[in-house]
């Protein structure tokens, strides 16, 4: 139970920095964060697919597989942290802004 309270308090400590921002500035920052999140997901997917492909290839050294796996897990951790920050921005903004799909992100 204490962890849940601590987590909530931690969330409340981060959120005011966005609540105090000008809404137009926050929207611009949020759109940039959404675009960054899309790019991160695309890059993470490429690493994941390479790890899966390498896992199916018996000629790939176990050290290479281990490195790809570690990279995949590290990327998952970074993506979760970025998602938390983005969520805080969206909460402070109060809506999800429209963000066109970039041509370079599939």
pLDDT in tens, 2-40: 444 444 444 445 456 788 889 999 999 999 999 999 999
pLDDT given at position 104: 55
- Residue 69 in any domain: the answer is yes
- What's the pLDDT tens digit per position in 74-102? 999 999 999 999 999 999 999 999 998 87
Structural domain total, the chain: 1
Q: Please give the C-alpha separations between residue 61 and each of 9, 20, 52, 67, 68, in angstroms, as whole numbers.
A: 46, 52, 13, 10, 11
Residue 101 is assigned to a structural domain of this protein = no
Give a yes or no: residue 81 inside a domain: yes
Q: Is residue 78 part of a domain?
A: yes
More confident residue, 106 or 84: 84
pLDDT tens, residue by residue, 44-78: 999 999 999 999 999 999 999 999 999 999 999 99
Can you give the CATH number for the domain in which 61 is found? 1.10.287.160
User: Is residue 105 pLDDT above 80, yes or no?
Assistant: no
For residue 58, which phi and psi values (nearest 5 degrees)?
-65, -15
The pTM of the full predicted model, rounded to 2 decimals, is 0.74
Q: What are phi and psi of 6, to 5 degrees?
A: -65, -40
Packing angle of the helix pair 23-55, 62-93 (nearest 10 deg): 160
| Residue 58 belongs to some domain of the structure | yes
**If we measure between CA atoms, which residue out of 36, 106, 29, 46 comes closest to residue 78?**
36
CB 10 within 8 A of CB 85: no
In this prediction, residue 10 carries a pLDDT of 47
Asked, for residue 47, whether it belongs to a domain, the answer is yes
Domain range holding 86?
21-92
User: Is residue 46 one of the residues assigned to a domain?
Assistant: yes
- Would you say residue 16 lies in a domain? no
């Amino acid at each position: 139970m204490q962890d849940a309270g601590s987590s909530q308090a931690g969330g409340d400590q981060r959120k005011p920095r966005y609540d105090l921002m000008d809404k137009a500035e926050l929207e611009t920052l949020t759109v940039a964060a959404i675009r960054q999140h899309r790019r991160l997901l695309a890059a993470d997917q490429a690493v994941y697919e390479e790890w899966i492909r390498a896992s199916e290839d018996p000629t790939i050294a176990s050290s290479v597989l281990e490195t790809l796996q570690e990279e995949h897990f590290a990327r998952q951790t970074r993506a979760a942290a970025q998602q938390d920050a983005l969520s805080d921005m969206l909460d402070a903004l109060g809506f999800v802004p429209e963000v066109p799909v970039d041509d370079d992100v599939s």
